[in-house]
Chains A and B, each alone.
Chain A
Amino acid sequence: MYLKAILLFPLIGILLLSLIRSYRISSFLNTLFSFLSFASSLLLLVKRESAGLFFVVDELNIVFILLTNFVGFTTALFSQHYIAHEIKTGHISAVSLRFYHGMYQSLLFGMNLALCSNNIGLMWVAIEIATLSTVLMVGIYRTAEALEASWKYFILGGVGIALALFGTFLFYISARPAIGEGLSAMAWTNLLSHASNLDTSLLNIAFVFILLGYGTKAGLFPLHAWLPDAHAEGPTPISAVLSGLLLNVALYAILRFKMLLAANPHALQAGPLLMSMGLASVLFAALMLYKRRDIKRLFAYSSIEHMGIIAFAFGIGGALANFAGLLHMSMHSLTKSAIFFAIGYISQIKRTQKIADLSGLTASHPVLGWGLVFGVLAIAGLPPMGVFMSEFLVLSSAFAKAPLLAALLACGLIIAFGALLLKLVQVAFGEPKGTSTVVPSLYLPMLSHFLLILIAGIYIPPHVVEWFKHTSLLLK
């Protein structure tokens, strides 16, 4: 029932919000619906339903459902004030506003559906819904840059869609002889239990397509091209959700498929593939960070880097590294969205996204400035924040298993850290410059994320550990 609820609330939200014209009501309703889905996802913790042919809630997705709805809710909160200012400055028209809120709920719906679907076809549909909603939202400012970013996202995303769909077909075809025709051959639970009987070679080809298809969504190098622009040109709440959630959902899909491969003893080792793509993403993003001049694009590249780390972690495999990967996914989404919250207000206050025009924020705007410092240090993997723990686990298991690659990864991390720090010092320290406007802002979303990652850096609840551990075993 709760499962239905997390799907139903956004659905109602889509319908209702695309009709309401008033900003006040619609933004409130947007937050309310996000909160309702968050609340029902919390209830999901208490009572879990058994897997059906279409939906499933298990150890792997429960954390992500919870996380998605939580970040969805906090972002909705953040977006209330953010969008209010955008309307005031005339960046967003009334029509676009209806569109925006509708699409926001449709994005949440898509992600929830993708996370709890037990059917590879349904998951594909869900991810497409989510992608298309974000495509539309990225272009909402209608500036040349925004449209271009949106177009880029659409074309590359479309190709990704096609590739992922082909992969999905291939999975079905490989499963058909073992499970039989029809829907049951597309259900995760069935696929997993019959994994060792699936057609091995088809599975390999299918995985390549899935990796490229969903990898495009996850922004792995060299499929990343849409990501920086989409983050930079869209409204900041969307950047937060993109980085914090949609990338995770795409990776989650890859993980599901990797699980099948892992359960089949003869199938291709997905590890090296993920590792090399992850490593390439980390190194590439790290080097790209240095020449960035737009602060949102900077953190978009940082997201690519972190997706690379996660892919690398799953690529290494083993209980520890998989655990680390899952942890890193959750930590990254919390941290990165919080950073985007801070940046959103900062760019509104300073009316610029150019790094060179921002300076001395800790002096002029202590909460935002120090918030940004905290977030960047957290994302760079410094204690006592959660990313430190996940990076510790990733690197330490990598050092033990593949020292050379791990050393390369560490190099990439240091290079990226250097770049982020360089920009951070420029933005947060020094003498403040430029004029600033007063912007109504709500720090609660940002601070709540920070509190969570702070706690996670020191203590992870045993339940979460259990879920992650169980999943790690399945992932091999």
Chain B
Amino acid sequence: MNEYLLKGLLFIFIFYISFVVLAKNNFRFIYWLSVCYSGFGLLCSLSFLLSGQSSQSISFPLGLPTTGAHFKIDALASFFLLIVNLGSFVSSFYGIGYGSHTSEQSRTLPFYIIFLGSMNMVLLAADAFSFLFFWELMSLSSWALVMSSHQHKETAEAGFIYILMASLGTFALLFALSLIAAPSKSYCFDQMGKVSMDGKLASLIFLLALLGAGSKAGLIPLHVWLPKAHPAAPSHVSALMSGVMTKVAVYGFIRIVFELLPSQEKWWSILILIIAGISTVVGVLYALMQHDIKRLLAYHTIENIGIVFIGIGLSMAFKIYGMTAASALAMTAALFHALNHSIFKNLLFLGSGAIQSATDQRDMEKLGGLILNMPHTAFTFLIGSVAISALPPLNGFVSEWLLMQSILQSPQLPSWGMKFLVPSVGAFLALSAALAASCFIKVYGITFLGRPRSMQSTVASETDRWSVLAMYALAFLCIIFGIFPRLVIHLLGPVVRAIAATHYFPLSAKSFFMPLSLVVDQNAYNGFVLVLLLGIFLFFILISVKWLSSNQFRRTPIWDCGYPEKSPDCQYTANSFAQPIRKVFGPFLFATKEKVVCSEPWYPKAAKMIVKLHDQIWEYLYKPVAMAIDRISEKINFLQFLTVRRYLVLVFLTLVCLLGCLAFLL
């Protein structure tokens, strides 16, 4: 049956792409079609995961001559298919309504379709060529989507950096895959992983895979493009890029490092853990410094990808030392978090899209009080914020709890380095979770709460019903996966078994709903009971407060300790909210410079505070390269303006050199 599903997926893909031509600019039609397409993908992946069958493959005489195009669906692919199609399902649904808020549909629609299709195909591809083909097509189509608002200067810059980093990543992956393919002389994944390999070569491949997948996923220091490119696209595309495309990168990494490489070296996991740990904290600190809501969300993607990679790194470490159960646990946590992140990040981006279409603003400093005008967006955004802050009882907490539990397994690792490293990563994780919470207090508090800071914010109205429905669907998933995490863990079973050879949470028919708790060693977390208890306690309190207390209330002007100030400008801003944290972490990370400009008393003028943040990674890692290229190209540019005689001298010298080589070397 799955064979038919796979075939169906592939054929519908072609069918689907060909619709671009027919549909022209009828965006509702395209988005409905995308909903159907991703819905079908969703069904396929679910049926595959639940049926627990082994892989199915299929090949066509297309693509690379003599190799052909191979496609395969297995547990790993189908889990990521689930993530991709869940995200695209909701985003397309959102697009049905959101599309009417955007102009120039013809710049997004064709690429949107290709983007969705290519993400699916990357996961199904089972040979190096098809994989990279769709990988690069995914980058290309998302670049085109980023460029859809092409009039802005920043967009051009964002798109430029994005596609360059994407090609860098593709080249790195190409390098890695070629090195794997070389000994087995086949580009087909099935044959590629079977050859044993020299440790140094394997390490090189690993580094390249990390570079390739990491640049797409946005690991620090390869993240520079991400906060520029993701916000520039239309919001439902940003949601897909941040929530889903980064997961495709994670998939690529797992596929190459865990499946195509025969064995892993010890230091790899150390490297991953360090990079991932830094990514989590630095990502969230960057986010805290932003006041553009979409850019802030994009920076949070860096943090969450860091968390996913912490899980992957741990899983690798445990696997190397033969602790398969712990490895399975860490991988479960990583994949669970990947799914969770795709859900709440989609939700938050969709929410920010709703805000943007309602107020035409992305700058939080110009928003405020939207909870009154946009109640549905506000509610769902709140759910998303709680989830991304890893707070119980929502899904974000469950995956971080699992990750913490797998960190707690680390003392059994024999390596001393790991013993010290892993707890520090745990501390980083905790720090990033707490900072994420404060970041989302800021986002939510400044955007939705308080008093409106601009006219647009005052008159904003709730977004269309399709968008609201899409957001509610995601919010519902956030809650459901938080209360019944076993649902996801059940789905993850075959995937984790494929990667880590075992499954931490035993799969039995009974375990689908009962027991509801997650148990690691003796430690337990039971989301369902927790919510039940919360409900009971809340009910009790509501009843007793009603019975006990006075129910009189009246609306009054704000008190504010006796210093009420009417102007909304006197509220806390996003910038001032982050000030304490900026003061603590800023000097070290961003080389912050704060300057307060006060006018002289006799010359009344508004005082100003100037904050300068420097992206040090950009300045010390990327800028020099760009400068060097610029300088070299400036230096050699004279070669365009030589006289004919000088060109002849060049030819002459080349000839003499080559003859000299012949005379003296051979």
Contact = CB atoms under 8 A, between A and B. Distances in A.
Direct touch of chains A and B (CB < 8 A): yes
Interface of A: 151-152, 155-156, 159, 163, 201, 204-205, 208, 211-212, 216, 222-223, 225-226, 228, 268, 273, 284, 287-291, 323, 360, 362-363, 377, 382-384, 388-389, 392-393, 395-397, 399-400, 403, 406-407, 410, 413-415, 417-419, 421-422, 425-426, 429-431, 458-460, 462, 465
B636 A287 contact: yes
Given A208-B662, A400-B178, A388 B164 contact: no
A40 to B, nearest CB: 27
A417 B648 CA distance: 30
Interface stretch (B47-55, B381-389, B446-454, B627-635): B627-635
Contacts of A399: 174-175, 178-179, 182
B136 interface: yes
**Among the interface residues B61, B64, B655, which one has the most CB atoms of the partner chain A within 10 A?**
B655
B194 interface: no
B567 interface: no
Interface in B167-189: 167-168, 171, 174-175, 177-179, 181-182, 187
A225 B650 contact: yes
Interface string B650-664: 110011001100100
Nearest to A395: B174
A212 B633 contact: no
B260 to A, nearest CB: 14
Interface stretch (B127-135, B410-418, B536-544): B127-135
A87 B373 CA distance: 64
B549 interface: no
Contact of B640 (A201, A228, A362): A228
Nearest to B635: A287
A337 to B, nearest CB: 22
Given A429-B156, A458-B63, A288 B164 contact: no
B642 A418 contact: no
B140 interface: yes
Contacts of A289: 633
B28 interface: no
A458 to B, nearest CB: 6
A418 B626 CA distance: 10
Contact of A421 (B160, B179, B632): B160
A151 B132 CA distance: 45
A135 B496 CA distance: 66
A425 B140 contact: no
12 contacts: A155-B644, A156-B648, A225-B644, A225-B647, A291-B640, A383-B140, A395-B175, A403-B175, A406-B175, A418-B164, A429-B151, A429-B156
A425 B156 contact: yes
A147 B655 CA distance: 27
B138 to A, nearest CB: 9
B62 interface: yes
Contacts of B550: none
B183 to A, nearest CB: 9
B168 A287 contact: no
Given A204-B662, A400-B178, A418-B160, A287 B136 contact: no
A382 B132 CA distance: 10
Contacts of B557: none
Given A205-B662, A223-B650, A225-B650, A407 B636 contact: no
A287 B632 contact: yes
B647 A152 contact: yes
A307 B433 CA distance: 52
A212 B658 CA distance: 9
B175 A410 contact: yes
* Main secondary structure on A side of the interface with B: helix
B666 interface: yes
B65 A465 contact: yes
B639 A204 contact: no
A291 B633 contact: yes
Contacts of B182: 399-400
Contacts of A363: 150
A159 B651 contact: yes
Contacts of B175: 395, 399, 403, 406-407, 410
Interface string B487-511: 0000000000000000000000000
Given A205-B659, A291-B637, A152 B644 contact: yes
B523 interface: no
B159 interface: yes
B163 interface: yes
A426 B156 CA distance: 8
A397 B640 CA distance: 33
B538 to A, nearest CB: 54
Nearest to B647: A225
How many of chain B's residues touch chain A, expressed as a range?
A: 35 or more
Given A403-B179, A421-B164, A155 B648 contact: yes
Contacts of B181: 396, 400
Nearest to B183: A400
A210 B516 CA distance: 78
Contacts of B662: 204-205, 208, 268
A406 B179 CA distance: 12
B551 interface: no
Contacts of B637: 288, 291
A377 B151 CA distance: 20
A421 B633 contact: no
B636 A222 contact: no
Interface string B111-148: 00000000000000000110011101100100000010
A204 B187 CA distance: 36
B174 A392 contact: yes
A223 B654 contact: yes
B160 A383 contact: no
A388 B133 contact: yes
A304 B335 CA distance: 46
A377 B144 CA distance: 11
A377 B128 CA distance: 21
A205 B150 CA distance: 54
B156 A417 contact: no
A156 to B, nearest CB: 6
Contact of B178 (A151, A389, A395): A395
B1 to A, nearest CB: 28
Contacts of B630: 290
B66 interface: yes
B177 A396 contact: yes
A377 B168 contact: no
Contacts of A152: 644, 647
Contact of A382 (B140, B147, B179, B654): B140
Given A212-B651, A388-B133, A400-B181, 14 more contacts: A156-B648, A205-B659, A208-B659, A284-B636, A284-B639, A288-B637, A288-B640, A382-B137, A383-B134, A389-B64, A399-B175, A400-B178, A406-B175, A421-B164
B65 A156 contact: no
Contacts of A397: 178
B629 A290 contact: yes
Nearest to B659: A208
Given A388-B136, A425-B156, A425-B160, A415 B640 contact: no
